[in-house]
Amino acid sequence: EAITVQELANRMAEKGADLVKAMFNLGMPVTITQTIDQDTAELLVEEFGHNIQRVSEADVDIVTTDDVDPEETLKPRPPVVTIMGHVDHGKTSLLDALRGTDVTRGEAGGITQHIGAYQVKTKGGDIVTFLDTPGHEAFTEMRMRGANVTDIVVLVVAADDGLMPQTIEAINHTKAAGVPMIVAINKMDKPEAKPQRIRERLLEHEIVVEEMSGDVQDVEVSAKTGDGLDKLLDAINLQSELLELKARPDRDAEATVVEAKLDKGKGPLATVLINRGTLKRGDIFVVGTQSGRVRALHDDKGRQVKEAGPSMPVEVLGLGGVPRAGDTLTVVEDEQRAREVAEYRQEKADEKRTTVAPTNIDTMFSALNTSVVEFPVVVKADVQGSVEAITTALNRLSNDLIKVRILNSGVGAITESDATLAAASNAPIIGFNVRPNAKARQQIERNKVEMKYYDVIYHLTEAIAKEMAGELGPER
Ligand code: GDP
C-alpha cells in the first residue's frame, strides 16, 4: 500500500514541506507528490512522533485474517448442511420435514421463523444446522465470495425422475467445492420410485454410493411421509464425525452473512452463521462495508438469545446498513475501529467501481460493436441472497451475440425510480417475491413497462433465456 507524501502529511496534520525536509534528512530526497511505500511512511510517522494507526489493505486484512486458534481451544461444532438438487425434486419439502424432526420444537415460545438457516436437535442429542436457501446458485455465489460455510451437501434426487440438469450442476458445484456429499433419494413413497436406477446413473458422474460399494452415503427418504429422515440425520452426523468439525467458542465472533434484508420496522437485518467465537449482545462489529452494534439476537424460533456460538444461525439487529450474503462479520474492539474499517472498505469499493467501469473490455466492446444486442433488465428481490443469485444467473445467459445488462438490482419493493429507469431503457422489471408500490404501479401503467414476477430462480432464467433468443430473431 503506497501513499503520496502530501496525503500522509494531511493525515498527520503536518506540513508537506516538513515531511519533505524530514525525508531529506533521513537521506531519502523526495518531492511532495511522490509516492512512498508503507515502511517509509511508518518511519516518517514515527519521526513526527505520531502513533501508527494503519488503515490500509494490510490493516483490514487483520480484521478478516485467518489467525489460527490453538488446537487446545477448539471444541466440536455442529455441521452446516446445504440441500441441493433439481427443481421439484423436493428440496423445500425436505427442509420443512427435517425442521419438523427438531425435538426442541415444542418448547415454549418457539414459532418457526424463516431466517435463512435453522438448527435441528436430533433424538440422539446431535445438532445439525441447515441452510434454508436451497440450490446451488446461492451456494456458488457464496463460494465465489470466499464464504465456504457448507460442511456437507445433501443431494436430493427424486426416485421417480432421475438425474436432471440441475442435479448434475449440483454434483459439479459440490465437487468443485470439495465438500462431501450425501445422496437423499426422495419420493420413495411413490409407487413408480426406482432408487436403484438413480444409483446406477450416479456412477456416470463418479458418485459411487455405499449401496454400490462406494463411500458416498445414500439414504432413501420421503419428505412426504417422513420415512428415512432419521437415517438421513444419522448419515449427516456420521459424516460430520469423520470431518471432526471444530471451532473455538471463547473468543470474539467471526460469522458469515447468509441472508440480509431491510425490514420496515426493524431496519437492516442479517442472518449470520457463527464460524468461530461467540457473538453477544452489545458486541461492536464490521460486516462488509457496514458497521454496527448487536442490539438483539434472535434464533430460528424467533426467540431472543443473549449469545450465539459456532455453527449457530442468528438474526442480528443493529446494523448500519444491509450487508451482502457471503460478507464476513467480525467483532472489533470499539466503534471507531468499526467505522474506520467500514469506511475504508467503502472507499475501496467505490474506487473499484469508478476505475473499473469505463475500462471494462466487455462494455467497450458492446459499445463499439453494434452486432452485440443488449438485453436490459431491472431486478428487485425480497432478500439480498436472491438478488445476487439472480444477477449471477442472468449474467451467465450472456453470450457473444446478446448480453444481459442489469440496469439496477436491489432488495425491496419495486419503486417509482425502478419504473422510470425501466421505462427509459425499454427494459422489463423482474420482481422476485416483490411487487410494485402504489406510485410505481402508476408509472408502470403509464409507461407500459413490462413486469415479470417470479418465485423460482430457475423459472426466471428459463423465461429470460427464451426472451433473449426471441430478441435475436430466427436469422441468428
Ligand atoms: P423443490 O423445488 O426441490 O424445492 O421441490 P419441492 O419441495 O417444492 O417439491 C416439489 C413437489 O414434489 C411438491 O409438489 C411436493 O409436494 C412434492 N414432493 C416433495 N417430496 C415428496 C415426497 O417425498 N413424496 C411425494 N409423493 N411428493 C413429494
For residue 352, pLDDT beyond 60? no
Q: Residue 451 — very low, low, confident or very high, per pLDDT cuts 50/70/90?
A: very high
According to DSSP, the β-strands at 218-220 and 35-36 are unpaired
Ligand 1 pocket, residues with Cβ under 6 angstroms: 85, 87-93, 134, 186-187, 189-190, 222-224
Say how many Å lie between the CA of residue 89 and the centre of ligand 1: 6
Higher-confidence residue: 359 or 237? Answer: 237
Q: Whose CA is nearest to atom 14 of ligand 1?
A: 88
Say how many Å lie between the CA of residue 160 and the centre of ligand 1: 11
Say how many Å lie between the CA of residue 86 and the centre of ligand 1: 11
Q: Which of 82, 87, 88 best tests ligand 1's pocket when mutated (most atoms within 8 Å of CB)?
A: 88
For residue 357, pLDDT beyond 50? no
Q: What is the pLDDT of residues 48-61, one digit of tens each?
A: 776 555 544 434 44
> What number does the ligand 1 atom closest to the CA of 96 have?
7
Q: What is the pLDDT of residues 227-243, one digit of tens each?
A: 999 999 999 999 999 99
pTM surpassing 0.90?
no
Say how many Å lie between the CA of residue 223 and the centre of ligand 1: 7
Residue 327 C-alpha cell reads as: 460478507
Complex ipTM value: 0.99
Q: Whose CA is nearest to atom 10 of ligand 1?
A: 88
Q: What is the pLDDT of residues 377-399, one digit of tens each?
A: 999 999 888 998 999 999 888 88
The share of the chain scoring above pLDDT 90, in percent, equals 45
For residue 431, pLDDT beyond 60? yes
Q: Which of 10-24, 77-91, 117-131, 132-146 has the lowest mean pLDDT?
A: 132-146
Q: What is the pLDDT of residues 90-133, one digit of tens each?
A: 999 999 999 999 888 766 566 778 899 999 999 999 999 999 87
Q: Residue 17 — very low, low, confident or very high, per pLDDT cuts 50/70/90?
A: confident
> What number does the ligand 1 atom closest to the CA of 456 have?
2
Mean pLDDT over the full length of the chain: 85
Say how many Å lie between the CA of residue 90 and the centre of ligand 1: 4
Q: Annotated binding site for GTP, which residues?
A: 85-92, 132-136, 186-189
For residue 264, pLDDT beyond 90? no
Q: Which of 221-225, 347-351, 368-372, 402-406 has the lowest mean pLDDT?
A: 368-372
According to DSSP, the β-strands at 328-331 and 117-121 are unpaired
